[in-house]
Amino acid sequence: MSRLKEAIGSIPLPDEGVRERALDRLRNQARPTGSLGVLEDVGAKLAAVSGTLDVCLQRKVVVTCAGDHGIVAEGVSLFPQDVTWQMVANFVNGGASINVLAKHAGARVIVADLGVNHDFDPALPICHKKVRRGTANFRREPAMTREQAVTSVEAGIEIVDELVADGGLDLLGTGDMGIGNTSPSTAIIAAFSGLPVAELTGRGTGLGDEALQHKIDVIDAALRERAPNPKDPIDVLAKVGGCEIGGLAGLVIGAAAHGVPVVCDGLISTAGALIAYELAPAVSHYLFASHRSVEVGHRFMHQRLGVEPLLDLRFRLGEGTGAAVAFHLMDAATRVLANIKTFAEVAIADAQD
């Protein structure tokens, strides 16, 4: 817990003076005020956390956290658990969706094993941060111990520390891989929001109506039995979460502690961001939501975090794919702020005066 407390305590506040300078420049550029909408908001936020009007996002990384879930024993997913470790191998070999989209965005992909139910070769080029071989079935018992939950968060923090030490980091994207992980993610937003599970539960990998109702019933029963404390984020994570969700929370906290903006991906990554936010509200200064998933609970996560997604592309894949696509908009926002000339710089009369 000491590493977690240290990271939370070291999150710097954004530079409000730089934010005001950014907003002033955006208002005075040679175009109608506000005409580039969200890109202006993103540019000003990036300027404030980076301390400059000329933000450089050259060193981009997507970290895809992987873990398995005992809840799959309840029949809440269409796919078998072995798919998790097989997809980790696919990420390493460069054959997955995130590999293609991240490469197009000029980003590296790093895979982290937080809790896959498989023993990987130690020589495999991934972040070996396994907390345990999959969580327990949280319908029947807590997903993990409190100590394991803390360890998973601290593992995410360590990954960011290592990235910063090894060449630096300008922009972090978070992604996930884990069969069955929409169930713990839904349980997390239900625990924090108090909203009915039925309003928050999506079809995951494509469940039919009967299977969807079964999933709702399983999550609802688990929440009643486990009774996670919404005022204690570690308790929520331990009772109904996942190792990779803890790792994702740690990535957000670690990035914020280093002053690095972080773009969260879909439902599972945003569940991790929620754990981070409930532990350390200051992470919101550094957090961007890449997109809105078709998973119905995602909207409620965004509402609780107070963030608006940059995109809505009907994605429901995870892996960090939404974050990789959003990287293009983040780059565009930095160039809008730094490179569009002001009316004064180009000697054009400002018709808005």
Do both 227 and 314 map to the same domain? yes
Q: Residue 351 falls within a domain, yes or no? A: no
**141 assigned to active site:** no
pLDDT at 205: 77
pLDDT tens-digit series, residues 27-79:
999 999 999 999 999 999 999 999 999 999 999 999 999 999 999 999 999 99
pLDDT tens-digit series, residues 249-287:
999 999 999 999 999 999 999 999 999 999 999 999 999
Which of 40, 278, 295, 319 is catalytic? The answer is: 319
In this model, does residue 84 exceed pLDDT 90? Answer: yes
Do both 46 and 88 map to the same domain? no
Half-sphere exposure of 31 (CA within 13 A, CB side): 13
Q: Residue 25 falls within a domain, yes or no? A: yes
Cβ atoms 204, 90 nearer than 8 A:
no
Q: Residue 353 falls within a domain, yes or no? A: no
Q: Residue 226 falls within a domain, yes or no? A: yes
Do both 207 and 342 map to the same domain? no
Token output for 211: 């299977």
Do both 117 and 258 map to the same domain? yes
Q: What is the extent of the structural domain holding 42? A: 2-55+337-346
pLDDT at 350: 67
pLDDT at 297: 96
Q: Residue 140 falls within a domain, yes or no? A: yes
Cβ atoms 263, 173 nearer than 8 A:
yes
Do both 33 and 145 map to the same domain? no
**Single-letter code of the amino acid located at 106:** G
pLDDT at 80: 94
Do both 78 and 197 map to the same domain? yes
pLDDT at 206: 83
The domain tally of the chain equals: 2
Q: What is the CATH number of the domain that holds 14?
A: 1.10.1610.10
Task: Count Cβ atoms within 10 A of the Cβ of residue 251 and give its class: 0-12 exposed, 13-18 middle, 19 or more buried.
Answer: buried
CA-based nearest residue to 273, from 294, 295, 303, 296: 303
pLDDT at 93: 97
Q: What number is the average pLDDT over the span 135-162?
A: 98
Quote the mean pLDDT of the chain.
96
Q: Which ranges in 227-280 belong to alpha helices (H)?
A: 233-240, 243-257, 267-279
Q: What number is the average pLDDT over the span 234-246?
A: 98
Q: What number is the average pLDDT over the span 122-128?
A: 98
pLDDT tens-digit series, residues 192-210:
999 999 999 999 878 999 9
Do both 139 and 257 map to the same domain? yes
Give the 3-state secondary structure of residue 128. strand
Q: Residue 352 falls within a domain, yes or no? A: no
Do both 74 and 207 map to the same domain? yes
Do both 161 and 212 map to the same domain? yes
Q: What is the CATH number of the domain that holds 259?
A: 3.40.50.10210
pLDDT band for 352, please (50, 70, 90 cuts).
low
Do both 257 and 122 map to the same domain? yes
Q: Residue 117 falls within a domain, yes or no? A: yes
Q: Residue 299 falls within a domain, yes or no? A: yes
* Cα 49 from Cα 260, distance rounded (Å): 7
pLDDT band for 348, please (50, 70, 90 cuts).
confident
Do both 43 and 95 map to the same domain? no
In whole angstroms, how far apart are CA 99 and each of 4, 60, 267?
30, 13, 19
Q: What number is the average pLDDT over the span 179-200?
A: 97
Do both 306 and 246 map to the same domain? yes
pLDDT at 204: 84
